[in-house]
Amino acid sequence: MEFIIIHQQAQPYIAHIQLNRPKELNALNLQLMQELRDTLKALDEDDQVRVIIISGNDKAFAAGADIKQMAGKTAIDMYNVDQFSTWDTIKKIKKPLIAAVSGFALGGGCELAMLCDMIVASESARFGQPEIRIGVMPGAGGTQRLTRAVGKALAMEMVLTGRFITAEAALQAGLINKIVPVELYLTEAFRLAAEIAQLSPLAVKMAKESVLRAFDSTLEEGLHFERKNFYLLFASEDQKEGMQAFMEKRPPVFTGK
Ligand code: CAA
């Protein structure tokens, strides 16, 4: 891997991927996105991993798709390269993804953070969809996921002006989960991951799938989907263990079976 670092597992069941093009503020070129996709797919199949953290560095989570790589392209080049197909695969990752964001999360960087399930940010985090300033518009879900997260008024403002918002404004708007000082954003992401990693991985995956379904379905369909997953979990050993442990007043031990 050239543009990402897969850190040694510091805590059980938690994987940490770091975007690593620091000189380019982690601009998301095609190779970086392919490496990220391949790594996430492998981690999704690894029983020793239950939660995945994606971070950049203190200065930038990612400053967007690589403008220099796209600048000379024609519409047909863009169609043929189909750069967003990697994003479609990442969207299907079943395990929880936590974005640990410090500094710039712009354009594709903001979209990648929103593709994750939760966002922990440092006080220095800045979110924005500035594509309009370079004559285009968001292409990796920005007009859709941002609008669903923060509502029409703020999404329109951000997408039509390219303005950045602070971590504080992002928290207030419901885009992110938590803000901590810059020296703590990874610690906080690990804390969140550790809490989830001790739960039943099957229940966690199905719960993630069900929450995401809320964005793609009517209430009736979503409720139906939720109910099926709820019933399905009664086929798991973890359901027996979780409920038995509750009755025996002891902590459960979940195995993912
Ligand atoms: N693509 C390619 N290179 C980028 C980049 C990007 N998105 N963002 C930053 N860089 C490069 C800069 O060109 C610069 O490289 P050089 O040293 O070789 O000149 C280096 O990273 C450092 O950047 P700056 O000198 O500009 O740093 P700064 O602190 O002055 O400014 C910034 C930081 C405000 C983030 C500014 O770099 C910027 O505006 N970046 C572009 C943000 C953007 O427009 N993102 C959207 C991209 S399009 C997209 O994402 C489409 C989509 O929906 C998927």
Give the other-Cβ count within 10 Å of 166's Cβ. Answer: 15
For the Cβ of 66 lying below 6 angstroms from any atom of ligand 1, the answer is yes
Please provide the size of the chain in residues: 257
Q: Would you call 124 helix, strand, or coil by DSSP?
A: coil
Q: How far is the CA of 162 from the centre of ligand 1 (A)?
A: 13
Taking the C-alpha atoms of residue 238 and residue 254, their distance in angstroms, rounded to an integer, is: 5
Q: How far is the CA of 27 from the centre of ligand 1 (A)?
A: 7
- Asked if 133 and 107 count as a contact pair (C-beta separation under 8 A), the reply is no
pLDDT for 8 equals 87
ipTM of the complex, rounded to two decimals: 0.98
For the Cβ of 108 lying below 6 angstroms from any atom of ligand 1, the answer is yes
For the Cβ of 179 lying below 6 angstroms from any atom of ligand 1, the answer is no
- Closest ligand 1 atom to residue 129 Cα is 46
Give me the phi and psi of 162, to 5 degrees please.
80, 5
Nearest CA, atom 30, ligand 1? 25
Largest Cα separation within the chain, whole Å, is 65
Domains recognised in the chain with CATH numbers: 4-197 (3.90.226.10), 201-247 (1.10.12.10)
Q: How far is the CA of 166 from the centre of ligand 1 (A)?
A: 18
Taking the C-alpha atoms of residue 12 and residue 65, their distance in angstroms, rounded to an integer, is: 32
Give me the phi and psi of 53, to 5 degrees please.
-105, 135
Taking the C-alpha atoms of residue 197 and residue 141, their distance in angstroms, rounded to an integer, is: 28
Per-residue pLDDT of the chain (257 residues; tens, 9 = 90+): 999 999 988 899 999 999 999 999 999 999 999 999 999 999 999 999 999 999 999 999 999 999 999 999 999 999 999 999 999 999 999 999 999 999 999 999 999 999 999 999 999 999 999 999 999 999 999 999 999 999 999 999 999 999 999 999 999 999 999 999 999 999 999 999 999 999 999 999 999 999 999 999 999 999 999 999 999 999 999 999 999 999 999 999 999 99
For the Cβ of 104 lying below 6 angstroms from any atom of ligand 1, the answer is yes
Q: Which amino acids are annotated catalytic? A: 65, 108, 111, 131
pLDDT for 10 equals 84
Q: How far is the CA of 24 from the centre of ligand 1 (A)?
A: 7
Residue ranges in the chain assigned as alpha helix (H): 30-44, 67-70, 75-81, 85-91, 108-115, 142-150, 152-161, 167-173, 185-197, 201-213, 219-232, 237-247
Mutate to test the pocket of ligand 1, among 67, 115, 159 (most ligand atoms within 8 A of CB): 67
* Residue with token string 């410090």: 102
